[in-house]
Structures are given as structure tokens and as C-alpha cells.
Structure 1
Amino acid sequence: MGLEFLWSFGLVCIEVHALKFYKDLHNQIIMSLFAVGDWVIAMLSLAAACSSAGVAVLFTKDTDFCKNETSFSCNMFPISIAFAFASWFLLAVSSCIMLWLVVSI
């Protein structure tokens, strides 16, 4: 998710620069780069969400780690995993829209 933050922050900086100096970003090469970057970030986000779900299953069902450690907050795992999958879904939608923009140029 740190890589996702850096990618999104970089896109914001590029778009603010383009708006400030009246640059046009509707170039086939630039839009293709954005689309590929969005797809890579979406796949990495899906991998992170799936691996965190696997770790949560390992902690709660397989090793009984949550029963033995009372100071560890295992009730928050499903909520964070749900947010990770929601983040992936929104990134996938963004990637599809970016692909549609590339095709329309």
C-alpha cells in the first residue's frame, strides 16, 4: 500500500503541474504509461489483500495465536482485510477507466 500511495501521489503531482502550467496530458505514450502503472498497482494491491487474508486465517484458525495472545487485537483483521479488498476493487475500476481513456485517444 506504500507503493500505491507513492504512485497516486506522483500522479497528483503530475496533474497539478499540468493544470498549473496548462500542459496537455492527452498523449498516447503518457496515457499508456499511466494505464500500465495503474494495472501493476492494482495487481500488487490484490496480492497484498490476498496475502493479508491468508495471514489472518493462519493466525485465527490454524495456530490459535489469537486465543493465546490476549494483547493482540485479532478482531480488527477482518475489517482491515475488507478495506484492502475494497481498495483493490476501486483500483481495478480506476485501471479500467484509464484503459478506456487510452483506447479513446
Structure 2
Amino acid sequence: MTSWRLFTVLGPISGKTTSLVDLIRFGREAENEICIPDGQVSRQHAQIEKTDAGYLLTDLNSTNGTFLNDKRLTHPTYLRIGDAITIGPARFLVLAEPTGTLES
């Protein structure tokens, strides 16, 4: 089994790792799970929601858009390991880490 994570590779919060849970919201306001304090980022910019089919990235009608693998997101899209998400000056990589232990 694997645990999905976001690793921030660029921007004001670079180096931060966030585990994906049921719902993660991005925006410049502090109540968001991932706060990006930058004027290019809307107060409530985007979200990742866990569904039965996977993790769904949705732009929340932001002014400057959300980008997935350098393409502007035009509709909710399921994430894959290795995807890159760009929101304002911040860039995140979708990673997977094994969870639990293997028995020999």
C-alpha cells in the first residue's frame, strides 16, 4: 500500500511535504490546509479531494488558474504519481511512499 504526498519544490513554502487526506484546499488565506501567501494566489484557489477513484484536483474558479503538468486545468482531473501542480509561484510534485512493513 502507498501513501500519496505533495512535495513543494518551488515557491514561498518550498521544501514542505503534505500527506494527501480526504480534502486539501490551497489558497492564500491561513484557513487553507496549504497556505501560499502570494498575490497571484486566490483566497480559495484549488482543492484535492479523495474519491473512490483517486485524488481529484479542482480549480475553485481562481483568477490566475491552476496548472497540471504545465497545462491550465479546465475541468476536475484525477492525479497520477509524478504529476506537477502549479499554483501561483508554488509548484508541487505528487509522490507516493510505501506504508506499512513487508513481512519476510
TM-score over 0.5 for the alignment?
no
- Relative to its length, the structure with more strand (as a share) is 2
Q: TM-score range by the shorter chain?
A: under 0.3
- Relative to its length, the structure with more helix (as a share) is 1
Highest CA radius of gyration, 1 or 2? Answer: 1
Q: Which has the higher contact order (CA 8 A, sep 6+)?
A: 1
TM-score for the superposition, normalised by structure 2: 0.24
TM-score for the superposition, normalised by structure 1: 0.24
